[in-house]
Chain A
Amino acid sequence: MNLMLQQFPVVFQALNVGFLQTLKLFFVTGLGAIPLGLVIAFGSMSRFKPLSALTRLVIWVVRGTPLMIQLLIIYYFPGIELHNNWWGGGESGRFLASSIAFIFNYACYFSEIYRGGIQSIPKGQQEAGLVLGMTRGQIFYRVTLLQVIKRIVPPMSNEIITLVKDTALARIIALQEIIWAGQSFMRGSHGISGAIWPLFFTAVYYLLFNGVVTVALGRLEKRLDYFR
């Protein structure tokens, strides 16, 4: 116990640095996947059959295989099989590859939530807009979108909370996020070795951050409570 208290300031500092990388990956994924998911959703709902079939095939593959394998393939394939490492070396390369893998994976999950949300809006809403001379774009942005957002907040909250924890998977390509930082004290780092508690302690970060996320999404849900 005494030893742990001695180690705490050093560990705390290192975990904070790792958590910063975790947060970066979380926000970059969110900012990329939320709009990309909408594009994929439109693709999967397209009336042009080849496009919707292709999009659904991609969604099936991405959702049907582990994100960890996708990370490994995206990171290692160009360098090993094509002898051309697109990602560049070092931490920035690992971050870039992780971001691409996470954005694409999460966009596919989001797209299915969007599709469900869009298709759950009664057709009468669109028809009411049409007979009032509104364009399809106007109907989507002025009428449908907010109703879709209201309906998808609960399932999206689920995915976003999962994303917070899934960022840990980037450890597999040695992205220096918080799990990597915690683990480093087992083999030795900052003059501390053989310590396993820092790795266990990372759970507190996830838990607290997910608390913040849950409160924020709960507020959003409340703000959309004014209509039904």
Chain B
Amino acid sequence: MAILDVKDIRKRFGNTEVLKGISFSLEQGQVLSIIGSSGSGKTTLLRCLNFLETPDGGSIAVNGQVLFDAAAAASRREADIRRSRLHFGLVFQSFNLFPQYTALENVMLAGRLLAKEQPDYKARKKELLDQLDQRARALLDQMGLSSRMDSYPHQLSGGQQQRVAIARALALSPDILCFDEPTSALDPELTHEVLRVIRSLADQRTTMIIVTHEMAFARDVSSRVIFMDGGQVVEEGPPSQVLEDPVQERTRRFLESYHQSDRFTGP
């Protein structure tokens, strides 16, 4: 059974239809890359999956459980949406770390607040907090940040901040981790360290959806690639097909424009 089933997601802002019926599914441990030019709807799709936007149509199911169905969207309560969000993690282009908390506190905050909702929180407080602390430290360690746990975001480089953000998203053990152009705000050197971390997550079979402009990385790390244009899935398949031998003319043109800009900026 697919871990994620997205059916016919539609979204419009005013008169503009940004998503015109997106469907795809994802298996446990797969990495899906979504490519496409700016304005193709990639980011809106991720935001719909994380319920930062409410789709106008379609449904989203995780592990067979329907989390969202546009037909019943009006009756959804804030608390249900909150619980649905926990199935997904999202790493933003601009990191969005909480500036007043240290790296470690950033990773622990949401877990600590969720722990308080457990009925036996008072009795097991110390045990629960110790667990959270250990997990947060282990994640930061895995991100190569064991020496920066007590640093505040402004004391970290962009690459370090993004790695803290990845640890923060992983701390809640989401079923699917989403990345929205995770390296677009970084220079090439820092891009590399973030991509290395994402690759190691792929090696550990973390289910991920990555919106990216890093074609070489997408080819390398993805199990599947979706090319989006004008709010639709134009082409979908293994990276060897979509990125190297696309069937659709539109995909080919997009990739060509990429290679051309590579030639301009390349060494």
Please give the residue numbers on chain A whose beta carbons come within 8 Å of chain B beta carbons, in ascending order.
Answer: 122, 124-125, 127-136, 138, 142-143, 146-147, 150, 226-228
Stretch at the interface among B11-19, B24-32, B91-99, B203-211: B91-99
A135 to B81, CA, bound (A): 10
Partner of A142, one of B90, B99, B113, B169: B113
- When distances are taken between beta carbons in the complex, the residues of chain B under 8 Å from A129 are 110
Partner of A127, one of B52, B97, B99, B110: B52
Task: Flag whether B153 is at the interface (Cβ < 8 A).
Answer: yes
Min C-beta distance of B104 to chain A, whole Å: 14
- When distances are taken between beta carbons in the complex, the residues of chain B under 8 Å from A122 are 94, 96
Please give the residue numbers on chain B whose beta carbons come within 8 Å of chain A beta carbons, in ascending order.
Answer: 50-52, 78, 82-83, 85-86, 88-90, 92, 94, 96-100, 109-110, 113-114, 152-154, 168-169, 172
A138 to B78, CA, bound (A): 14
A228 to B98, CA, bound (A): 10
| Inter-subunit contact B110/A134 (CB<8 Å) | yes
A-B contact pairs, 24 of them (CB 8 A): A122-B94, A124-B92, A125-B98, A127-B96, A128-B96, A128-B98, A129-B110, A130-B85, A131-B52, A131-B85, A131-B88, A131-B169, A132-B168, A132-B169, A132-B172, A133-B82, A133-B110, A133-B114, A133-B172, A136-B78, A147-B99, A150-B100, A226-B152, A227-B100
- When distances are taken between beta carbons in the complex, the residues of chain B under 8 Å from A136 are 78
A150 to B94, CA, bound (A): 21
- When distances are taken between beta carbons in the complex, the residues of chain B under 8 Å from A134 are 110, 113
- When distances are taken between beta carbons in the complex, the residues of chain A under 8 Å from B98 are 125, 128, 143
Chain B CB count within 10 A is highest, among A124, A125, A128, A143, for A128
Q: Are A147 and B100 also in contact (CB < 8 A) when A124-B94, A130-B85, A133-B85 are?
A: yes
Chain B CB count within 10 A is highest, among A122, A125, A132, A143, for A132
Q: Are A138 and B113 also in contact (CB < 8 A) when A127-B96, A130-B52, A131-B90 are?
A: yes
A sample of 7 more A-B contacts (CB under 8 A), given A132-B109, A147-B100, A226-B100, is A125-B96, A127-B96, A128-B98, A130-B51, A131-B50, A131-B169, A142-B109
Chain A, Cβ-Cβ closest to B49: A131
| Inter-subunit contact B100/A146 (CB<8 Å) | yes
- When distances are taken between beta carbons in the complex, the residues of chain A under 8 Å from B97 are 128
- When distances are taken between beta carbons in the complex, the residues of chain A under 8 Å from B110 are 129, 132-134
Min C-beta distance of B107 to chain A, whole Å: 10
- When distances are taken between beta carbons in the complex, the residues of chain B under 8 Å from A128 are 92, 96-98
Chain B, Cβ-Cβ closest to A127: B52
| Inter-subunit contact B172/A227 (CB<8 Å) | no
Chain A, Cβ-Cβ closest to B81: A130
Min C-beta distance of A153 to chain B, whole Å: 14
- When distances are taken between beta carbons in the complex, the residues of chain B under 8 Å from A125 are 96, 98
A104 to B153, CA, bound (A): 39
A136 to B81, CA, bound (A): 12
A227 to B154, CA, bound (A): 7
